[in-house]
Chains A and B, each alone.
Chain A
């Protein structure tokens, strides 16, 4: 059980034992997050830069809380405050930030491969908080943590992911992670939003929602973005038709197992991909996902900074 990587760029890079290490550590941090006093000195003196070049509320806050609960100093760069708007290249921005000697840069960017680009170029740790349609590894880890808490394990379980698979980094990271841990993964949505070769990542594609959710232990709904239609992608006629064919509501839920778990990475479009009754219903673990997000991000920062190895060294010293 170990995690010896400098960076967390994607689930695709990880071995099963590395995923389990991240989840086990997150489990410990999850307990910490339930205490009245939530702060530990683990990362005191360490600096974390949040480089968010794409809008984000949940993920950015989650990373920030995670870092602060471990006593790291955090700094935020992004949006209109960044020099990206002044024509500086991403690599220059990143090299300048690194020159200020952070220990970790958490990066979100609208283009795939950017976390890998920074991880390769910079000596400090890089955590991917979402790169284009590529990966969102901490989201998949927090989803897995949530499922492990509810289901005990992944072997023999079926997880159905519904929605815009083609433009979803959450879907990709989850397909890879869940299949790696032994689950069966179905993806469902209009054929226009199922990317070619998704089977190569381990998923089975389903056309119809009712077939996809039948016998599933988990149904994960993805956000449908109106912008996709507005930008002329010709993916589906309108959100009303989408909702009728692929929306999860009390009616479609009758096809599902009574104990099915409903997930959503957020932000939720109520009434489009999921009805309020389902989102707030007994099946929903959506807010558990958010709570676990903090623990998973604490775990990710802890491991990429080598704090586990540092602690082990201290422990060995004390034992002597």
Chain B
């Protein structure tokens, strides 16, 4: 690979507090060689035609986005998504690293599945895929999965996401056992005793629509339980897709006490309220469900004040078979990789976040949260990059998306910002023609 010079971009590297127009030079090994103003002149004279120059004027150059929570459906549900199609969607959304959940078929509860996912990801070569192993064998909530072997094979965390770990004793042991491996237990917080056949958040909208609801308390009591267990065990609890005001507050207080707890929030939870369910569009159905405005505001505040560590999409592809049915029967989940930047820039436009903060929540902070290499642009770092035009707009057309599935509630929305180029270890994984489709 030739050296590449990204020239004249507004470089936003929150890890170093950098936000300035400058150049970035990527070496032949796909790592950052140098960042600074006037590199073009220096390299131009020194290296001549040895350097590919990528003009970036008007674009933001940031560390490639890192998503701690996606579902890639492979193995087992390739009709919804594959590691390749999911990787393509990730690249189109500016992501260079994704962590994929264990609820595949079979479940990623042993090292051979973990290795399979890594091999398929390497073949696809579209983004770095870091598997998350199951907490319990078969995600059945009965006994621990092969946590140590999966960790050795490359798993970055452990989660039965999609399902809660209802057995408090198993959760306690998981938090204790994972300490040895320095990996988080990622918890899908939902007390199923407080609502087992629910279709949305319990509140005035579920009452108006006649849909069975689940109260916010079902999330809160589990967050409270797991914070207590993390506090006692010293284990690392990562609360997946936090969605209620009280859970954000519980996490804020726990962090103040020094409990090892981290968390993430999804773009749909910080953008939409439960009012979006009116009309029974099944692409507004997910777990946790869309919440009332007070919860949405608390999630936004949690992102702004740092209580919530990062943004994660919970990209959850489902086919028309699972979604074009009665609302109560529809599968939970929405896709999110290609709309994450736009929805996050929506928070910037609304004045809740600065641009550098938005970039940090999408790359620097998730990488730091899980201890993943990336999310920074210092010399020697991986040249995992995203180039986006903050002033362009994206009209979301689900049919034009790169995911194999179309289940987004944002179809027809116009979102700020467009990804122009995504770079993984120096090579383009996505290159969007200005103003063409997604």
Contact = CB atoms under 8 A, between A and B. Distances in A.
Interface of A: 12, 89-91, 109, 111-114, 116-117, 131-135, 166, 169, 172, 195-201
Given A112-B328, A114-B326, A169 B208 contact: no
B211 A113 contact: yes
Nearest to A112: B210
Given A133-B210, A172-B210, A198-B204, 18 more contacts: A89-B325, A91-B325, A112-B209, A113-B209, A113-B210, A113-B326, A113-B327, A133-B211, A133-B212, A166-B207, A169-B210, A195-B206, A196-B202, A196-B213, A197-B203, A197-B208, A199-B204, A201-B208
B207 A117 contact: no
B205 interface: yes
B399 interface: no
B326 A109 contact: yes
Contacts of A131: 210
Interface string B196-222: 000100111111111111000000000
A112 B203 contact: no
Contact of B204 (A12, A91, A166, A197): A197
Contact of A117 (B199, B206, B213, B280): B280
Given A196-B202, A197-B204, A112 B324 contact: no
B17 interface: no
Contacts, number: 71
A114 B329 CA distance: 11
Contacts of A195: 206-207
Contact of B327 (A89, A112, A196, A197): A112
A12 B205 CA distance: 13
A109 B280 CA distance: 15
A196 B204 contact: yes
A196 B207 contact: yes
A169 B209 CA distance: 10
Q: Which 7 pairs of residues, A with B, have the shortest CB-CB distance?
A: A197-B204, A134-B210, A113-B280, A133-B210, A112-B210, A195-B207, A200-B204
Contacts of A132: 210-211, 328
Given A112-B280, A113-B326, A172 B208 contact: yes
A111 B326 contact: yes
A113 B211 CA distance: 8
Contacts of B208: 12, 172, 197, 200-201
A116 B326 CA distance: 10
A117 B210 CA distance: 14
B48 interface: no
Interface centre among A90, A111, A172 (most CB of B within 10 A): A111
B279 interface: yes
A6 B200 CA distance: 28
Contacts of A169: 210
Given A112-B280, A116-B279, A116-B280, A201 B325 contact: no
Contacts of B324: 89, 91
Contact of B207 (A89, A109, A111, A201): A201
